[in-house]
Amino acid sequence: GAVVSQHPSWVICKSGTSVKIECRSLDFQATTMFWYRQFPKQSLMLMATSNEGSKATYEQGVEKDKFLINHASLTLSTLTVTSAHPEDSSFYICSASLRSIYNSPLHFGNGTRLTVT
Amino acid sequence: QQPVQSPQAVILREGEDAVINCSSSKALYSVHWYRQKHGEAPVFLMILLKGGEQKGHEKISASFNEKKQQSSLYLTASQLSYSGTYFCGLTQGGSEKLVFGKGTKLTVNP
């Protein structure tokens, strides 16, 4: 149980275009989903917390207008990278938890490798 | 605030032991440990809660010292499959989010 599916696995886009990444919880309802970004050989940096039916909470330094997050249902959250630039190239991973992350693990999607040319 | 992990990297021979440490300057509520292999998503290992508990998972165990605000991950009799980058993640009071350390790269050689 607790499977998180992320799509696409990889995407290559041209500078200036937008890319949408989907994150679905397949066998549970996720009130909250978390979006992380990981640069090569670096840590998982939390970008934003996505809450179903409300606005996402962004971490300091993450541009809200650039990284649009929509959590329209209890099983789907999307991250749209708008007007992508080469510096946005990274590994984006979504995650969700069955209960409070205080005592419940995060279940990660397989990640999306974004390359902006 | 990002937890501090040490060491940054460790190289072992199969069968050897290792300890990875994770500390924070802020009060901790719980500690998560994950392992990530290259190009893959992190995989959950264990959670430790306030109260100074210890946990074990086969030959991988961990401890949580609330007073010292640190946790340690113990890998005994390492196997080749243990290779990867280990991350600790911390939850802190009043915040429903997990902040990860920079990771410890573990390489187990035959």
> Which tokens is A99 given?
């209960």
Q: What is the reported pLDDT for A79?
A: 97
Question: pLDDT band for position B107 (50/70/90)?
Answer: very high
Is the per-residue pLDDT at B51 higher than 80? no
Contact B76, B67 (CB under 8 A): no
Nearest CA in chain B to A49: B97
- Given a cut of 90, whether residue B109 has pLDDT beyond it is yes
Band of pLDDT at residue B35, cut at 50, 70 and 90: very high
Q: Are A92 and A36 in contact (CB under 8 A)?
A: yes
pLDDT of residue B87: 97
pLDDT tens for B73-97 read 999 999 999 999 999 999 877 678 8
Mean residue pLDDT of chain B comes to 90
Residue B28 clears pLDDT 90, i.e. is over it: no
The predicted pLDDT at position B52 comes to 61
B97 interaction partners in chain A (CB closer than 8 Å): 34, 46, 49, 101
* Contacts A–B by Cβ distance under 8 A: 58
Q: b/e for B16-48, b at 16 or more Cβ within 10 A?
A: eebebbbbbeeebbbbbbbbbeeeebbebbbbb
Going from the C-alpha of B17 to that of each of A91, B63, B73, B76, B103, the distances in angstroms are 31, 16, 11, 4, 18
B4 interfacial to chain A (CB closer than 8 Å): no
Q: In A, which residues are within 8 Å of B40 by CB distance?
A: 110-111
Residue A72: its pLDDT value, please? 84
- State whether residue B72 sits within 8 Å of chain A by CB: no
Structure confidence at residue B95 (pLDDT): 75
pLDDT for A54 = 86
Q: What is residue A76's predicted lDDT score, i.e. its pLDDT?
A: 94
pLDDT above 90 (res B10)? yes
What span, in angstroms and rounded, lies between the C-alpha atoms of A54 and A69? 10
- Name residue B89's beta-bridge partners: B32, B100
Residues in chain A with pLDDT values less than 70: none
- What is the pLDDT confidence band of residue B54, given thresholds at 50, 70 and 90? low
Residue B53 has pLDDT above 70, yes or no: no
Tokens representing A59 are 């971490």
